Amino acid sequence: MSTLEGRADEALRRIGVHLDDPADGTLVARTPITGEEIGRLRPSTADEVDAALTSAHKAFQSWRSVPAPVRGGVVRQLGILLTQHKDDLAELVTLEAGKIPSEALGEVQEMIDICEFAVGLSRQLYGKTMASERPGHRLMETWHPLGVVGVISAFNFPVAVWSWNTAIALVCGDTVVWKPSEATPLTAIACDALLKRACIDVGADPEIHQLIQGPAAVGEQLVSDSRVALLSATGSVRMGRTVAPVVAARFGRVLLELGGNNGAIVAPSADLDLAVRGIVFSAAGTAGQRCTSLRRVIVHESIADELVRRIADAYGQLEVGDPFDDGVLVGPLINEASFTAMATAIDKARADGGEVVCGGDRVGDGESYYASPAIVRMPEQTSVVRDETFAPILYVLTYSTFDEAIELHNAVPQGLSSAIFTTDQREAESFLGPEGSDCGIANVNIGTSGAEIGGAFGGEKETGGGRESGSDAWQTYMRRATNTVNYSDQLPLAQGVDFG
Ligand code: UN1
C-alpha cells in the first residue's frame, strides 16, 4: 500500500470505515496529488440505486412526522461527529480533491457551520399568517416536508455541498439520496458513515440517507426517478442542461448550482493592497477550481498596469505543489483533462490577441497535473473569456467608464459571484443595485469566493437560479400549503361573491 493510500485508509478507519477490496471494484479512487490509486469500490448497480430510492422513500413516510426540532437532533449529532473527525475528513478532502489542508479544514468547517445553522432552523421553519378579507377567518401558510431529495455533487467541494443540502433537507423532514462525484468516492463513504452513526446515536432511522456511487448512469437513474421530489445538482452547465429537462418533464423540482464566470471590477479608488490579496485568493486559491473562483478582473485603465504587476508579483510567490507540503498554496488540478482545458483556453486567448503575463505552465510531470496560475491580459471579452474554464486562469480586461465596467461584467452567460473593489460609495452601491451586478452573489471589497453559509448561495442565468445553504434557501426543500380556516358560523365568499 502506498503512503497516500495508507493515509486514506487510516483516515477512513478512524471514521469507522473499513474498505474491503471488491473483486469487481471498477470505481477507482485516485489522488490528484500523484495520480495514484488510493482505493477501489464497486459502483452501485441499477437494482441498488432502485433499492436506495425505495428505502429513502419509505423512510420519508415516517421521518416527515418526526417533529422538526427532534429531526434537528440528528443534524446536531452529525455536527459533533464532524467536529471530532474534522482532521480525518480534511485529510480525505486533500487526498481526493487536492486541496491544501487549510482549505480542506475550511471545507469541513463549512459542514459544521451548516449543521449548526440547520439545528437552529429546525425550530424556525416559519410560515406567515395573513389578514383574511373575511370576518371570522384565518389565513396562514404551513410548510411541510417535500419528499426524497436527490443530491448530485461535484469533486471540488466534495463534502460541503453535500452537507449544505443534507443538513437542511433533513431538518425539513426530507430524506436524501446522494450521488457524489466519481472523483471523490472515499470522502462520500466517510460522510455517509458519520451520518449513519449520528442517526444510530440519537435513535433516528439510518435509512433517511442513502449513498449511491458510480458513473453518470447512476446519476441519470436518480434524475429520472419520479420518487425524487427535489433534485439538487452542482456541476457544469452541460450537466444542468441534461438534468433540468428530465426533472421538468416529470414536474419535479430542481435546484441547480452550475457554472460561474466570476468577475471583479477594480476601480481607481480601490485599496490596491486589499484588492490584490482578495484577487489572488479568489483566482489562484483551490487552483481556480471553485465555482466561485475569480476568472475575470475588469480594471480601470489608469491602474491596470500597476494592478497586473502586483498580482503577477504575488503569483510569483505562490508555491505550487503537493498540498501536504508546508508553504504550498496551490495544489493539483483534478486530472489531465483539466490541464488540457487550461492549456487550450490559454492558446485560444493568445489567438484572440491575449498576452500571457505569467503562468499557464505545467509544473512537474507523471500522472499528476499541476499548473502555475496564469494571468492573461485580453484586448476584449472574447468567447474564451465568456466560457468557464475550471482552472486558474485570470483574464484581465480594462475599462474607462463605470457603465462600461458593469456592461463588461454582466456580458457573460453565467451569474454566480461578483465583486467590486472601490472606496467610492456611489460605485459600490450602484454595483449592488438593480443596474449593477446581475449575479446571485455581489461583494464589495472582498473577492468572489469563500462565501459564508449564513447567506443563500447560488446564481442567475446559466448558473441555474438555485439557492442553497443559509437565509431562506430551506423553502426549496419544503412544500407550502396555504390554509384558510373559518371559525365563524357564516360562509362569506371571497371577492364578495354572492351565490344565492
Ligand atoms: C463551489 O465551488 O461549488 O463560496 C462552492 C465559496 C465556498 C463554496 C463554493 N463557500 O467559495
Output the nine-digit C-alpha cell for 379: 484586448
> Which of 108, 163, 286, 292 has most ligand 1 atoms within 8 Å of CB, for mutation?
292
Output the nine-digit C-alpha cell for 450: 469563500
For residues 315 and 402, membership in a common domain is answered with yes
Residue type present at position 173: G
pLDDT band at 101 (very low <50, low <70, confident <90, very high): very high
For residues 212 and 348, membership in a common domain is answered with no
CA of 190 to the centre of ligand 1 (A): 20
In three-state secondary structure terms, 18 is coil
Output the nine-digit C-alpha cell for 357: 503575463
pLDDT band at 23 (very low <50, low <70, confident <90, very high): confident
Q: Is residue 489 part of a domain?
A: no
For residues 380 and 293, membership in a common domain is answered with yes
Q: For ligand 1, is residue 449 a contact (CB within 6 Å)?
A: yes
For residues 36 and 154, membership in a common domain is answered with yes
Burial class, 311, CB count within 10 angstroms (exposed 0-12 / middle 13-18 / buried 19+): buried
| pLDDT average, residue stretch 185-199 | 98
DSSP 8-state symbol, 138: E
For residues 324 and 353, membership in a common domain is answered with yes
pLDDT tens, position by position, 207-216: 999 999 999 9
Q: For ligand 1, is residue 443 a contact (CB within 6 Å)?
A: no
Contact 458, 467 (CB under 8 A): yes
Could you tell me which residues come within 8 angstroms of residue 322 by beta carbon, excluding any fewer than 6 positions away?
33, 328, 331
Report CA Rg, the chain.
24
Residue 301 has pLDDT above 80, yes or no: yes
For residues 286 and 402, membership in a common domain is answered with yes
In three-state secondary structure terms, 418 is strand
In three-state secondary structure terms, 289 is coil
CA of 451 to the centre of ligand 1 (A): 6
Residue 21 has pLDDT above 90, yes or no: no
For residues 295 and 178, membership in a common domain is answered with no
CA of 405 to the centre of ligand 1 (A): 25
Residue type present at position 127: G
For residues 51 and 35, membership in a common domain is answered with yes
Listed residue (159, 191, 177, 184) closest to 16, CA to CA: 191
Listed residue (156, 339, 148) closest to 236, CA to CA: 156
State the complex-level ipTM.
0.97
**What is the rounded CA–CA span in Å between residue 295 and residue 241?**
22
Residue type present at position 322: D
Give the dihedral sign, CA 281/287/293/299. Answer: positive
Q: For ligand 1, is residue 463 a contact (CB within 6 Å)?
A: no
Q: Which of the following is catalytic: 110, 257, 388, 468?
A: 257
Whether 404 is catalytic = no
Residue 20 has pLDDT above 90, yes or no: no
Q: Is residue 417 part of a domain?
A: yes
Q: Is residue 381 part of a domain?
A: yes
Residue 285 confidence (pLDDT)? 98
Whether 407 is catalytic = no
For residues 67 and 14, membership in a common domain is answered with yes
Q: Is residue 457 part of a domain?
A: no
Q: Is residue 238 part of a domain?
A: yes
Listed residue (146, 409, 181) closest to 255, CA to CA: 146
CATH, residue 226: 3.40.605.10
Angle 280-286-292 from CA coordinates, rounded to 5°: 75
Cα of 402 vs its chain's centroid, Å: 31
Biggest CA–CA distance in the chain, Å, is 85
| pLDDT average, residue stretch 390-411 | 98
Q: Is residue 200 part of a domain?
A: yes
pLDDT tens, position by position, 411-432: 999 999 999 999 999 999 999 9
Locate the DSSP E strands across 158-310. Answer: 175-179, 209-211, 228-234, 253-257, 262-266, 294-300
CATH, residue 321: 3.40.309.10
Q: Based on the structure, what is the number of domains in the chain? A: 2
Residue 399 has pLDDT above 80, yes or no: yes
For residues 189 and 323, membership in a common domain is answered with no
Q: Is residue 44 part of a domain?
A: yes
Output the nine-digit C-alpha cell for 53: 430510492
Q: Distances from the Cα of 339 to the Cαs of 105, 363, 370, 420, in angstroms?
A: 25, 11, 8, 29
Q: Distances from the Cα of 400 to the Cαs of 311, 318, 406, in angstroms?
A: 20, 31, 11
DSSP 200-227: HHHT--GGGEEE--SSHHHHHHHHH-TT
Tell if the pTM clears 0.80, that is, is over it. yes
For residues 300 and 362, membership in a common domain is answered with yes
Q: Is residue 192 part of a domain?
A: yes
DSSP 8-state symbol, 400: S
> Which of 157, 159, 258 has most ligand 1 atoms within 8 Å of CB, for mutation?
157
In three-state secondary structure terms, 15 is helix
For residues 317 and 423, membership in a common domain is answered with yes
CA of 450 to the centre of ligand 1 (A): 6
As a whole number of Å, the end-to-end CA separation of the chain is 84
Question: Which residue range forms the structural domain that includes residue 131?
Answer: 3-258+464-481
Residue type present at position 187: T
Output the nine-digit C-alpha cell for 321: 505543489
Residue 22 has pLDDT above 90, yes or no: no
